[in-house]
């Protein structure tokens, strides 16, 4: 019994234990195998979705980085433009505030000690909008409206503050020769090549006074220089250079230049002139022969007959002095030059880039050189945008080109940019040596602003009409439209029509139009008659480039006869249209009924012509405008200062007896200078203006 139990027990334990372990294994094994079989990865669709999401996130990230990068780039460009304009405005404001004269023109009892002048070119702030307007399916397209008035010229004499004198360069030999003269010793140029080259090296000198010039200049096509300068105009070429290009007439690149010319008359020798010396077969301090240049100073490709026009440019490349031609006893310009004093610079003929036009060029006929014009700026032909015709018919938008019979014209010559020979390093007409540091080596030294869109000088006219369109027809916006705005002609016409309707008859001007206008604005000199202006005269004109029928003549009795319009009446004869002072200054010259010269200029001028012993007067009864006669052709001189009532009217030496007059006799309240620049990469545009008052 006991044995049985033991055996049973022994048999029972294994039987109970073994099956338990095996059963456990048999139960767990299928479960593990089941997990391996059912485990699964990403499907192809899931992978594609994941990749798409990743790419979208990467694109979004790249775009956000690009946006941030563009913002940084635009911010940097904006900062650069702002800094550039701030530098220009600060420099210009400081210098013009140091001007040695006030804005009051010279009178019979006063002679300015220096000068202030500005020339108004035919292009205005409205030109690009009017002459480039085009109709599209989206409305009016103004592809060149970013450009403003870019053909003005500003010059004045300034006095430097203590400790900040003006600096410039002159050839070393000028100082050495003056030093030798003061010491009472002779001077000869060294013969050793190294020492000779050293004598013509630039030396920096200083001066308390300077003649300062600001002007805009385009980039010229090299193939056009030197004989026929033409600026590069490719941006507006609509047929990509097929040979019949339709350019927009605006220079592709404009730069603003600044020349600082030191006033150092103490450098003249006792002869009264600067010394002429020659290095590498190139004469220094020698102007071209007048009026036709010779091969002694110019290259073969230059137009020698234009020596009167660019004859001083070569000397201006060789020094930073304010210099002038010395005239002979008979009044003919010579090749000798002298450093100016402040008193010399009150006379226009002694200033930078001023020339006298020979009679044969001024009249367009004959071979005589005298009488010449009065001193005027050495300018090129009018900007080609002024030749633009309407898109619907071959009609001019600007007034007729000179020479033409009519009171309002587009001057064809002497009305464009300053001749390129006067830009440092861009004189291709004169001989230049690669072994010196003058001429072409000075390229960029006078550059103030690159990628400019406007350099605009304006005068404040207290009587200029500004039209308030808020009370006019629904076609007009609620804005004030002034003489510089492209819609000025239409606003004036609308205002007159409104006045006529209100009064049920002919309007009384300016009394009745006062309800639709304000008085006073900064304007361009002679703005009613500028070829690229908003009015372009009161005659019938095309409103803009889209206009195929034209706008009728304007009736403007008294409206445009204000201090700085230059207009005296609305006659059909030029001699009666313009203010007498413009003719007496020599800035406006007519022969018969044809305008031959027109350079609207505000100038403090001089009264020295009334006692210089030369005849400056109208040529004959069939012409108008002062010209300069030499002694051999003069019969009477200086009638305005001889103490005799020569014309038996208004007493002795009255205005009518004076030979000359400032172009404008009113003193302006203020002058405004506007500079506009562009970043060509970001197309950002910034503009700044400064206002100068006495």
Torsion angle of the four alpha carbons 261, 266, 268, 269, in this order, in degrees rounded to the nearest 10:
-160
Q: How many residues does the chain have?
A: 694
Q: Nearest Cα to 589, choosing from 635, 531, 628?
A: 628
Q: What is the pLDDT of residue 240?
A: 47
Q: What is the pLDDT of residue 286?
A: 98
Q: What are the extents of the domains in the chain?
A: 98-466+518-609+660-692
Structure tokens at 188: 């000869």
Residue 237, pLDDT above cutoff 80: no
Would you give the DSSP letter of residue 514? G
Q: What is the pLDDT of residue 139?
A: 80
**Burial state string for 29-42 with b = 16 or more CB within 10 A and e = fewer than 16:** eeeeeeeeeeeeee
Query: Would you give the end-to-end CA distance of the chain in angstroms?
Result: 144
Helix (H, G, I), strand (E, B) or coil at 385: helix
Binned at pLDDT 50, 70 and 90, residue 6 comes out as very low
Residue 28, pLDDT above cutoff 80: no
Cite the beta strand spans of 272-418 per DSSP E: 277-279, 282-284, 323-327, 333-339, 354-355, 372-373, 376-377
Binned at pLDDT 50, 70 and 90, residue 506 comes out as low
Specify the range with the lowest mean pLDDT, choosing from 326-340, 486-500, 595-609: 486-500
Binned at pLDDT 50, 70 and 90, residue 24 comes out as very low
Q: In which residue are the tokens 């030109």 written?
A: 127
Binned at pLDDT 50, 70 and 90, residue 143 comes out as confident
Residue 7, pLDDT above cutoff 50: no
CA pair distance 125, 534, nearest whole angstrom: 9
Q: Nearest Cα to 336, choosing from 421, 268, 404, 259?
A: 268
Q: Are 455 and 149 in contact (CB under 8 A)?
A: yes
Q: What is the pLDDT of residue 628?
A: 93
CA pair distance 306, 291, nearest whole angstrom: 7
pLDDT tens digits for range 364-420: 888 999 999 999 999 999 999 999 888 877 788 999 987 777 899 999 899 999 999
pLDDT tens digits for range 596-647: 999 999 999 999 998 888 888 887 777 899 999 887 656 677 776 666 655 6
pLDDT tens digits for range 520-555: 999 999 999 999 999 999 999 999 998 878 888 887
Other residues' Cβ atoms within 10 Å of the Cβ of residue 4: 8
CA pair distance 51, 56, nearest whole angstrom: 9
Residue 167, pLDDT above cutoff 80: yes
CA pair distance 490, 497, nearest whole angstrom: 10
Q: In which residue are the tokens 């503050």 written?
A: 161
Q: Are 113 and 101 in contact (CB under 8 A)?
A: yes
Q: What is the pLDDT of residue 655?
A: 64
Q: Are 293 and 306 in contact (CB under 8 A)?
A: yes
Residue 660, pLDDT above cutoff 80: yes
pLDDT tens digits for range 550-586: 888 887 767 889 999 999 998 888 888 999 999 999 9
Q: What is the pLDDT of residue 239?
A: 54
Measured CA to CA in angstroms, residue 372 lies from 327, 409, 468, 591 at distances of 13, 22, 46, 14
Q: Nearest Cα to 378, choosing from 441, 315, 307, 323?
A: 307
Measured CA to CA in angstroms, residue 300 lies from 224, 294, 303, 308, 431 at distances of 14, 9, 8, 16, 9
CA pair distance 332, 311, nearest whole angstrom: 14
Q: Is the pTM of this model over 0.95?
A: no
Would you give the DSSP letter of residue 389? B
The mean predicted confidence, pLDDT, of the chain is 87
Percent of all residues in the chain with a pLDDT value above 70, rounded to a whole number = 86
Residue 9 CA to its chain's centroid (Å): 123
pLDDT tens digits for range 111-138: 889 999 999 999 999 999 999 988 888 8
| Angle, vertex CA 550, rays to CA 395 and CA 478, nearest 5 | 130
CA pair distance 549, 620, nearest whole angstrom: 40
- In this prediction, residues 506-518 reach a mean pLDDT of 60
Helix (H, G, I), strand (E, B) or coil at 63: helix
Binned at pLDDT 50, 70 and 90, residue 10 comes out as very low
CA pair distance 427, 412, nearest whole angstrom: 23
Residue 402: left (phi > 0), alpha (psi -120 to 50), or beta? beta
- In this prediction, residues 314-319 reach a mean pLDDT of 98
Would you give the DSSP letter of residue 540? -
Sign of the torsion angle spanned by Cα atoms 684, 229, 244, 398: positive
């Amino acid at each position: 019994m006991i044995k049985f139990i033991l055996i049973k027990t022994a048999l029972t334990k294994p039987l109970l234990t073994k099956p338990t372990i095996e059963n456990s294994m048999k139960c767990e094994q299928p479960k593990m195998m089941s997990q391996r079989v059912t485990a699964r990865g990403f499907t192809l669709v899931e992978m594609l979705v994941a990749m798409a999401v990743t790419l979208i996130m990467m694109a979004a990230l790249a775009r956000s980085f690009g946006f941030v990068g563009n913002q940084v780039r635009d911010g940097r460009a904006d900062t650069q433009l702002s800094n550039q304009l701030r530098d220009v405005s600060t420099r210009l404001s400081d210098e013009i505030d140091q001007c040695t004269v006030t804005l009051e023109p010279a009178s019979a009892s006063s002679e300015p000690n220096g000068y202030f002048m500005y020339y108004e070119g035919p292009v205005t702030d409205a030109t690009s909008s009017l002459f480039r307007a085009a109709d599209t399916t989206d409305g009016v397209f103004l592809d060149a409206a970013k450009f403003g008035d870019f053909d003005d010229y500003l010059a004045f004499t300034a006095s430097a503050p203590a400790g900040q004198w003006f600096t410039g360069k002159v050839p070393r030999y000028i100082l050495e020769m003056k030093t030798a003269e003061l010491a009472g010793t002779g001077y000869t140029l060294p013969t050793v090549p190294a020492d000779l080259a050293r004598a013509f090296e630039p030396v920096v000198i200083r001066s308390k006074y300077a003649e300062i010039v600001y002007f805009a200049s385009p980039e010229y096509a090299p193939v056009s220089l030197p004989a026929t300068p033409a600026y590069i105009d490719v941006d507006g070429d609509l047929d990509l250079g097929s040979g019949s290009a339709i350019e927009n007439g605006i220079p592709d690149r404009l730069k603003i230049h600044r020349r600082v010319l030191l006033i150092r008359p103490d450098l003249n020798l006792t002869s009264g002139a600067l010394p002429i010396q020659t290095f590498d077969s190139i004469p220094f301090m020698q102007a071209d022969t007048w009026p036709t240049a010779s091969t002694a100073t110019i290259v073969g490709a230059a137009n020698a007959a234009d020596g009167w026009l660019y004859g001083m440019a070569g000397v201006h490349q060789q020094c930073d002095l304010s210099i002038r031609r010395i005239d002979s006893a008979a009044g003919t310009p010579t090749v000798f030059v002298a450093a100016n004093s402040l008193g010399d610079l009150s006379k226009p003929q002694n200033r930078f880039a001023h020339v006298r036009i020979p009679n044969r060029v001024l009249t367009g006929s004959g071979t005589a050189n005298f009488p010449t014009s009065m001193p005027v700026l050495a300018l090129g032909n009018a900007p080609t945008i002024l030749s633009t015709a309407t898109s619907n018919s071959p009609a001019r938008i600007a007034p007729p080109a000179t020479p033409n019979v009519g009171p309002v014209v587009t001057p064809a010559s002497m009305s464009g940019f300053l001749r390129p020979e006067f830009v440092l390093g861009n004189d291709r007409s004169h001989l230049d040596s690669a072994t010196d540091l003058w001429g072409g080596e000075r390229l960029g030294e006078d550059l103030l602003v690159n990628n400019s869109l406007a350099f605009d000088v304006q005068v404040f006219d207290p009587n200029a009409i500004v039209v308030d369109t808020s009370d006019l027809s629904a076609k007009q916006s609620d804005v004030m439209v002034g003489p510089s705005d492209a819609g000025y002609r239409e606003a004036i016409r609308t205002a007159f029509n409104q006045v006529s309707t209100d009064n049920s008859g002919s309007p009384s001007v300016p009394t009745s139009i006062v309800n639709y206008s304000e008085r006073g604005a900064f304007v361009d000199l002679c703005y009613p008659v500028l070829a690229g202006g908003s009015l372009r005269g009161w005659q019938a004109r095309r409103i803009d480039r889209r206009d195929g029928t034209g706008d009728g003549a304007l009736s403007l009795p008294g409206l445009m006869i204000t201090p700085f319009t230059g207009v005296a009446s609305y006659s059909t004869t030029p001699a009666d249209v313009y203010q007498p002072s413009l003719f007496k200054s020599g800035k406006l010259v007519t022969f018969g009924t044809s305008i031959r010269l027109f350079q609207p200029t505000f100038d403090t001028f001089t009264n020295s012509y009334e006692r210089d012993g030369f005849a400056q007067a109208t040529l004959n009864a069939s012409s108008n405008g002062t010209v300069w006669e030499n002694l051999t052709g003069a019969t009477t001189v200086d009638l305005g200062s001889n103490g005799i009532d020569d014309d038996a009217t208004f007493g002795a030496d009255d205005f009518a007896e004076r030979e000359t007059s400032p172009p404008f006799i009113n003193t302006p309240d203020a002058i405004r200078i506007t500079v506009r620049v562009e970043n060509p990469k970001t197309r950002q545009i910034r503009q700044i203006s400064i206002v100068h008052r006495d």
